[in-house]
Amino acid sequence: MVLSFRGASAFGLGLLSIVACADDASTSAGGKADGGGGSASSGGEGGMGAGSQGGAAQGGAPQGGEGGAGANPALIDPLADVPNVTLALTGFQFTEGTVWLPDLGILRFSDIPASQILEFDPVAGSSLVWREPSNATNGNGLAPNGDIVMCEHAARRVSRSPAAGAPNATPVATSYMGMAFNSPNDVIVRSDGQIYFTDPTYGLGGGLQELPWRGVYRVDTSGEVYLVGDEYGQPNGIALSPDESKLYVSDSQDGGLFVYDVAEDGSTGARTLLIDAAPSDGMAIDDAGNLYLTTSAGVEVYRSDGTAWGTLAVPEQPANCTFGGEGRRELFITARTSLFRVKLNVPGLP
């Protein structure tokens, strides 16, 4: 299996409740159209309602347990008998952008209004500020060389920096067809280094919207920018399937989780609706291809075919999540003023 490298997305104490088209019309700073494979579906970021308040397991598929060492992950219920969501850190303004850095053994996440990127050591339970100001960075992603890739709201760009040491952000993409991006929000990096990101208007503030749409983009390894899709109310969360053959995107305004087929060259096919879901925010994917969507209900978990496993209840409304920790079995969840954590049954992608 090819590991995809995950990013994050848009702008109490835990309980757990067990309740987952557009052509890659390519363009560089000048503009080009991508071809692409067939259809797929994509996932997204959540609505802005109040967070759900914990509770016992409800809904979802029959309880499956973890299974043995050789068990097929696709047959394991990721939520069966999992412990309660627990509070890791709190006292922030609006947390987002979770990304696990395996080489460093730490989690990084954003506090957007504070213009900070923070890091959390899950073993020591300690935290510190890694980058300030961060240009109101929202989503963060992991590149195959270990760099951190950042969606900077205030600078209206995608940037990258070596993850180790002091931040040294350099631009990856700043415009499409000569027009500035709205406010890059969430990002995922393929194992060959190609970058996919969403560009809603949440972080635009009083800035001039130059692009006539809110789109999804791909940046190839030469730096050329391609339009994946422009038919969104507000594109938000973004993720790749474990084998990188599917790209998922959510719409946090109009709802729905959409998917695109991804060709070997990184281009995408037509957009297909996978889940007719309420608006969702950032997302994560586990090794079985299960989708973890952050919504006003908590973290909703779906199989790759769009059928539901259930929902993890979180004391504050979550905005993003990612897998990390020992064995990649811990889900880290940013939720309004806090960071939460929970160990699950299936390991997931960073």
Fold adopted by 25-54+92-290: Neuraminidase (2.120.10)
- pLDDT for residue 177: 97
- pLDDT for residue 109: 99
* Tens digits of pLDDT across the chain (350 residues): 333 334 444 333 333 333 333 345 444 344 544 544 333 333 333 333 333 333 333 333 333 333 444 568 888 999 999 999 999 999 999 999 999 999 999 999 999 999 999 999 999 999 999 999 999 999 999 999 999 999 999 999 999 999 999 999 999 999 999 999 999 999 999 999 999 999 999 999 989 999 999 999 999 999 999 999 999 999 999 999 999 999 999 999 999 999 999 999 999 999 999 999 999 999 999 999 999 999 999 999 999 999 999 999 999 999 999 999 999 999 999 999 999 999 999 999 98
Closest CA to 295 of 7, 10, 58: 10
Query: Quick count: other Cβ atoms within 10 Å of Cβ 139?
Result: 35
Closest CA to 319 of 342, 295, 297, 337: 295
Please report, for residues 145, 281, 318, the alpha-carbon distance to residue 48 in angstroms, rounded to integers and kept in the order given.
34, 9, 9
Which tokens belong to 1? 């299996």
- pLDDT for residue 30: 45
Cis status of the peptide bond prior to 78, with omega within 30 of 0: no
- pLDDT for residue 350: 87
Residue 221 in contact with residue 193, Cβ under 8 Å?
A: yes
- pLDDT for residue 306: 97
Closest CA to 266 of 36, 55, 10, 103: 36
Beta-sheet strands, E only, within 153-290: 157-161, 170-173, 175-176, 179-180, 187-189, 195-199, 215-219, 225-229, 235-240, 246-251, 257-261, 271-275, 280, 283-285
The pTM for the full model equals: 0.83
Distance between alpha carbon 230 and the CA centroid of its chain, in Å? 19
- pLDDT for residue 34: 55
- pLDDT for residue 74: 81
- pLDDT for residue 72: 81
Residue boundaries of the structural domains of the chain = 25-54+92-290
Closest CA to 314 of 289, 293, 328: 293
